[in-house]
A and B are shown apart, each in its own frame.
Chain A
Amino acid sequence: MRTLISNGHLIDPLSGRNGKFDIIIEDGKISEIGQNLEITNGDIIDAQGKYVVPGLVDAHCHLRDPGFEYKEDIESGTRSAAVGGFTSIACMPNTNPVIDNQTVVKYILNKAKQDGAVNVYPIGAITKGQKGEELSEIGELKFAGVVAISDDGKPVKSSSLMKKAMQYASMFDTMIISHSEDLELSDEGVMNEGYMSTVLGLKGIPSAAESIAIAREIILAEYTNSPVHIAHVSTEMSVELIRLAKKRGVRVTAETCPHYFALTDEACEGFNTNAKVNPPLRSRKDVDAVIEGLKDGTIDIIATDHAPHHIDEKNVEFNIASSGIVGFETALPLAITKLVKTGVLTLEQLVLKMSVNPSRMLGLNKGSLEVGKSADITIFDADEEYIVDTDKFESKSKNSPFNGFKLSGRVYYTIVDGQVVVREKVLFK
């Protein structure tokens, strides 16, 4: 079976191709890239007026499976990812049971193979049960298939344990992804500490709670000469610290999420629980710094932190509402609307941050369109406008503060290992 993608505008940062190129896919792999290609029989995709890019890679999501299937499961989560243009996603270990042993890793990989619409790469826990007490079996997790380790959602409180985790994990070339938060400073806050928390009378989380923890990770990474990846960067000081660390040659990479460049804490107005997320939505100054960090390369990756929650967990008092935003189906349009259309990033830079860099950080053989590589391809229209309707999400959960937003950018095709999962905006899986 051969597939031809013709007439599209190909953007492949690694090869430097940025223009009219056709692609032929054969047996799940890219077999030819060139101009005016033709096939005699097979599937022809007309990508006229659209961009053809390496399949998007999400370095940070929550599939809730096993344990919280009422929020999301591997099937619904990967369908949601496919509609959003993601072909590979890395899922966090705060499941039940936690991904801290090879049995859970194998369960996820098997279920993804069976029910998944896109490639799924589990992230293991740094500590057993994400309790922050003892290291999990990092070597065994690595051999079972995890692409990184993280206690996401819960920071590793002990600096000493984090130091040991970095030293131990680098022995297995395993990246540590840090959810950086000083819980004592957060002190049960529920939104960003600032004018808006004062107006709403809600307990604030100071931006320092994040930045202090990031400073620690950077210092430990330099001290142990280990790599570290900083998850969901949201504050001005955090961006500045990472910038400084990179200048010093610390092996640090960083991600942010669409909600940290698209929204401020004003979205919490009216006790809007769909805007409750951790780290919290920040001030305008922080948002501007995150955007600047994306522009100057301090922030390498845009991840979704797709965090589904059931309506019953959001339709409650703000204090007890679950934190999190579903992100797969709005990430690319938000990035195009808020970063590309505004001139912050070129589309090529966006592909770097949503495909090439996350793939490299996780050590995946993805993020490029070369002959011989598996055909993971996303095709989108960058100009088509639409209104976000959360009821139409493929995800089981609808907890998004972007409902009703008018955005530019629509995914037309998502191709995973040569298989067309999304065709003309419609999911076929």
Chain B
Amino acid sequence: MFRGDVMVFKSKDLLGLKELSAEDIMNIIDTAKTMKYVIKSNNKKTAHLQGKSIVTLFYENSTRTRLSFELASKYMSSSSANISASSSSVAKGETLIDTGKTIDMMGTDVIIIRHPMSGAPHLLAKNVKASVINAGDGMNEHPTQALLDMFTIVERKGSLKGLKVAIVGDIYHSRVARSNIWGMSKLGAEISVAGPATLIPPGLENTGIKVFNTVQEALIDADVVMGLRIQLERQKKGLFPTIREYSRFFGIDEKRLKLAKEDALLMHPGPVNRGVELSTSVVDCDQSFINEQVTNGVAVRMALLYLLTRRGPNEDIN
């Protein structure tokens, strides 16, 4: 069902888009296009992961990312299992490396990890033979989210080259923003970000993007507008005064969205705080691709699992 040759993925793991080449990113997106047919079909079952073992190891709560990975692996017939930090040996003080090695030695081909600390997937990857997919680490990266974002944009716009992308909100704590900045820059997009000065990480402009303190400046002529979820607890840490004021200065409503190009795509990694970062009217407008992103998330994850497991079996278990 694949057209032409699918390139074999060079690295064992997917740790971040910082580490990935533009070629690898396009390879994943191209493969995801094909996978989307499977999701849309009446028979959501392929044999791509038959005989493969996939484990999700989540040290943070997650509903959509975990479900997305789980369905992706099930649509492709893998054996899969899930571990949550709360129910695991982590509570007994086992180290990440020891937990990882235990999973590895049970014959696992891919470990999908979400962890509150940046770099945890990198540590795991160095210590296991299985492929490691980063499903979000601290404030560092959430590469599969960015891949699905880029897939969604490529589907609608053909490519990211020369596109103006505005990312609005809490950039400081956002692994989604970081992954998108790395990935989209590699594909030739021009990125602007806007957010309260307390939520813009230092030195961000050194990555080659534009940083604004008003949402309007970032939105002008944008081809893609991406809102980020604002964690309500940030307000308690003194990073902004009230949700009300945040929304007044950085919320995206119809009027502000009009600053972007007429055919601009509105995106959000979800879940949306309606009326805070996005007004309800824009969430549900024709330019909104928030629901499409969810479908594309499964397609991108299917593509990744397929590409990573084509490397061959988890060898040398002894």
Contact residues of A with B, CB < 8 Å?
A: 193-204, 270-271, 312, 315-320
Residues of B within 8 A of A201 (CB): 118, 137-141, 175, 178
Contact (Cβ within 8 A) A195 B206? yes
Residues of B within 8 A of A202 (CB): 118-119, 138-140
Contact (Cβ within 8 A) A198 B117? no
Residues of B within 8 A of A316 (CB): 95-97, 123
Known: A197-B201, A271-B123, A318-B117. 16 other contacts (CB 8 A): A193-B202, A195-B206, A198-B202, A200-B119, A201-B118, A201-B137, A201-B140, A202-B118, A204-B201, A271-B118, A312-B95, A315-B123, A316-B95, A317-B115, A317-B123, A318-B118
Q: Which of B96, B120, B138, B203 contacts A194 (CB 8 A)?
A: B203
List B residues 93-123 near A (Cβ within 8 Å). 95-97, 115, 117-120, 122-123
* Interface: B204 (CB within 8 A): yes
Count A/B pairs, Cβ under 8 Å: 62
Interface residues on B, range: 20 to 34
Residues of B within 8 A of A204 (CB): 201-202
Contact residues of B with A, CB < 8 Å?
A: 18, 95-97, 115, 117-120, 122-123, 137-141, 175, 178, 201-204, 206-207
**Smallest CB-CB A-B distances: 8 pairs:** A195-B203, A201-B140, A271-B119, A201-B139, A198-B201, A201-B118, A317-B117, A319-B117
Count chain A CB atoms within 10 A of each CB in B18, B139, B175, B202 and give the residue with the most. Answer: B202
Within the assembled complex, what's the spacing in Å between the Cα atoms of A203 and B172?
A: 9
Closest to B203 in A: A195
Within the assembled complex, what's the spacing in Å between the Cα atoms of A198 and B204?
A: 7
B134 to chain A, nearest CB (A): 11
Between A and B, 20 residue pairs with Cβ closer than 8 Å are A194-B202, A198-B207, A201-B118, A201-B137, A201-B140, A201-B178, A202-B118, A202-B139, A204-B202, A271-B118, A271-B119, A271-B123, A316-B96, A316-B97, A316-B123, A317-B96, A317-B117, A317-B120, A318-B119, A319-B117
Contact (Cβ within 8 A) B139 A203? yes
Closest to B139 in A: A201
A271 to chain B, nearest CB (A): 3
Contact (Cβ within 8 A) A198 B203? yes
Residues of A within 8 A of B175 (CB): 201
Residues of B within 8 A of A198 (CB): 178, 201-204, 207
Closest to A201 in B: B140
Within the assembled complex, what's the spacing in Å between the Cα atoms of A315 and B127?
A: 10
Contact (Cβ within 8 A) A197 B138? no
A286 to chain B, nearest CB (A): 14
Contact (Cβ within 8 A) A319 B138? yes
Closest to A315 in B: B97
Closest to B59 in A: A317
Count chain A CB atoms within 10 A of each CB in B97, B122, B178, B201 and give the residue with the most. Answer: B201
Residues of A within 8 A of B207 (CB): 198-199
